[in-house]
Structure 1
Amino acid sequence: MNKGKAEENKRIVTEFYHAYGIEKDAEKCREFFGDRYIQHNPHVQDGVDHFLRFVQYRKEHYPQGENRVMMTLGDDDKVMLHVHSVLVPGDPGRNLVDTFRVEDGKVVEHWDVIQNVEVLKFPPINDNGLFNQCGDSILCDPDKTDENRALVTAFYETYGLEKDAGKCAGFLGSTYTQHNPHVQDGPEAFLKFVEFRKKNYPHARNEIKITVAQGNLVGFHVHSLLTPDDPGRNLVDIFRVEKGKIVEHWDTIQNIEVLKFPPINDNGLY
């Protein structure tokens, strides 16, 4: 990974996202685009002008809405943002991941995964919260990016394709912190989940479509299928590595809709 390029891409996308998600300044956003903007949400039109119209709409109808970036990963040409989006103060909002591709210093392509934050009917299974609360201090070990990318990719293929709990155990630390409120902490709970998945969903597959890695953080944009005939789920998994072991996990999970009308763009989710 080119560390200088990754940091520059993070700067560009962070400034752009603040102009969009906090300031809601359409004209300021325009400065970050080139001559095209490709969307992978089937409900959203391609093009810079359509995005700027959305920013203006949001400013007019949700003036207090904010998209707060909770974690940022930058790679050679992509930046992944884990975001808490709240349109109306007091609303639990949305847990989302926006991933952008940067080309020649301009934002040119976008993927998203959007999950409504539930008002839980029972206490959460863990108390870790959905989001990173440590800011940029969570990121370290920039020289180990490639090593950690390979480590977490091997782990994820062992989990998502092979469903081999015994092999997965070798990748996990003595602690494993979960940020999904429905999931237990600890490597033992995760390995039990892998075994359950293999037994009950033998054809399940989690296929990595995009990887963004920086230092000790590795994020995957994934197409998850439990059964071969199911449209599956559009999801992002982000992992933190410590001393060569995977110790923490965040996710954003969105069911893939069976569309009732043709998609607005033909770019696909991935």
Structure 2
Amino acid sequence: MRPGKIALLAITASALLLGTQSLPASAKTAAGAPAATSPQAEHASRPAADPTAVNEALVVYMFEQLLYANNSSVIDKYVSPTYVQHNPTLGDGPEGLRAYIDWRRAQDPQPRNLLWRVVAQGDLVSIMNDYQQAPGRSYADIVDTFRVENGKLAEHWDVIQTVPSSTASGHDLYSTLSAPSGDMPDPTASTGRTEQVVEKYFDGLHERHDPSVINRYVAGGLIQHDPGLTDGSAVVRSAYDAERAAHPRARVSSRMWIAQGDYVTVRYHYQATPADRGQAVAETFRVRDGKIVEHWDVVQDVPATAANPNTMF
């Protein structure tokens, strides 16, 4: 899936869950024609009875209906009456979600979110997506995370950042550039091994404050999608050293891990100082041959007030 495409997925769903043979085909080119590649092929080794696959299919279907088609009619069937909302601008429950979808449809029928990547594990499904206020014009880089319970969306978190006019590396914020090509997790890759590499790297930096893990677990030619950084592990080391010197009391908390194949998405609360409201951060890592080869992140300041009592975490 490349920037010229509307990279929505068509993933086969469980008939028992959705009451249909499959989800509607969603992968389209910008002109609306079917995409050449099928996401079913990327998920072929995962049985339909796999709970993670069922949850993933439900979330992708709801994403398509709510954030691409701006269709709030599916909320009654697939959103829990006790839906917990962590987006600070929205209220709890199905009505809070419905109010947002109806509002954005009324504002402009064109806004749509284009799906780039799904990482799912158990009851958690994370989606990296591109919010466009008009076709072809990116406005926000978003990572949405949903918890599924009893076949319905039960809880939602997100991290949203404005798309800059340029990036230090020259790369866009979404696509996969490392080999082998493919924006979705590789079903043949070891999820356990991928998660282990990222956990050792992440804990080494944020718990033990040991920058040697950068050389150990990050490929020298790391492809970087953080808009402020260029490629390479040496740049990561320089950025870490500068941040550590500026904020020696910085802390990371409320970590949420989702690993699948060769991808891991980590969502957490970063505070530069103990009194800082901090930032919500979602980092995604791609691991190949025991090394992190590509990195994406989305960062959002925690606001002073919210429309719900749940915090962003």
TM-score by length of 1: 0.90
The C-alpha deviation readout for 1:216-242, integer Å capped at 9, x for no partner, is 100011111112221111110000000
What value does the CA root-mean-square deviation take over the aligned residues? 2.0
Are residue 161 (structure 1) and residue 201 (structure 2) matched?
no
Are residue 198 (structure 1) and residue 244 (structure 2) matched?
yes
Percentage of matched positions with identical amino acids: 26
Displacement of 1:66 in angstroms is 0.5
Instruction: Please give the secondary structure, in 1, of the residue aligned with 2:168.
Output: coil
Aligned in 2, Cα 1:30/1:87: closer, same or farther, shift over 3 Å?
Answer: farther
Aligned in 2, Cα 1:49/1:138: closer, same or farther, shift over 3 Å?
Answer: closer
Match of 1:127 in 2: 170
Displacement of 1:208 in angstroms is 4.9
Higher normalized helix content (fraction of residues): 1
Structure-1 separation of matches of 2:244 and 2:226:
21
User: Is the contact between residue 161 and residue 204 of structure 1 (CA under 8 Å) also seen in structure 2?
Assistant: no
Structure-1 separation of matches of 2:88 and 2:227:
28
Match of 1:13 in 2: 59
Structure-2 separation of matches of 1:139 and 1:10:
12
**Could you list the runs of 5+ residues in structure 2 that have no partner in the other structure?**
1-45
**Could you list the runs of 5+ residues in structure 1 that have no partner in the other structure?**
none
Match of 1:269 in 2: 312
Are residue 146 (structure 1) and residue 175 (structure 2) matched?
no
Match of 2:79 in 1: 33
User: Is the contact between residue 80 and residue 153 of structure 2 (CA under 8 Å) also seen in structure 1?
Assistant: yes
User: Is the contact between residue 160 and residue 207 of structure 1 (CA under 8 Å) also seen in structure 2?
Assistant: no
Higher relative contact order (CA 8 A, sep 6+): 1
TM-score by length of 2: 0.78
Displacement of 1:168 in angstroms is 2.6
Aligned in 2, Cα 1:142/1:62: closer, same or farther, shift over 3 Å?
Answer: farther
Structure-1 separation of matches of 2:187 and 2:57:
19
Instruction: Please give the secondary structure, in 1, of the residue aligned with 2:249.
Output: coil
Structure-2 separation of matches of 1:26 and 1:66:
14
Match of 2:5 in 1: none
User: Is the contact between residue 250 and residue 270 of structure 2 (CA under 8 Å) also seen in structure 1?
Assistant: yes
Aligned in 2, Cα 1:126/1:227: closer, same or farther, shift over 3 Å?
Answer: same
The C-alpha deviation readout for 1:113-156, integer Å capped at 9, x for no partner, is 11111234xxx321221002579554214551122112201211
Are residue 84 (structure 1) and residue 122 (structure 2) matched?
no
Are residue 68 (structure 1) and residue 114 (structure 2) matched?
yes
Match of 2:94 in 1: 48
User: Is the contact between residue 71 and residue 136 of structure 1 (CA under 8 Å) also seen in structure 2?
Assistant: no
Instruction: Please give the secondary structure, in 1, of the residue aligned with 2:207.
Output: helix
Structure-1 separation of matches of 2:99 and 2:309:
20
Where do 1:157-236 residues align within 5 Å? Answer: 157-236=203-282
- Counterpart residue type for residue 129 of structure 2: V
Displacement of 1:89 in angstroms is 4.0
Structure-2 separation of matches of 1:127 and 1:213:
27
Give every structure 1 segment of 4 or more consecutive aligned residues whose post-TM-superposition deviation is greater than 3 Å: 88-92, 133-138
Match of 2:18 in 1: none
Match of 1:116 in 2: 162
- Counterpart residue type for residue 173 of structure 2: L
Instruction: Please give the secondary structure, in 2, of the residue aligned with 1:152.
Output: helix
The C-alpha deviation readout for 1:66-87, integer Å capped at 9, x for no partner, is 0011111011001000110012
Aligned residues, how many? 263
Structure-2 separation of matches of 1:136 and 1:47:
35
Instruction: Please give the secondary structure, in 1, of the residue aligned with 2:312.
Output: coil
The C-alpha deviation readout for 1:5-26, integer Å capped at 9, x for no partner, is 2211111000000001111111
Instruction: Please give the secondary structure, in 2, of the residue aligned with 1:185.
Output: coil
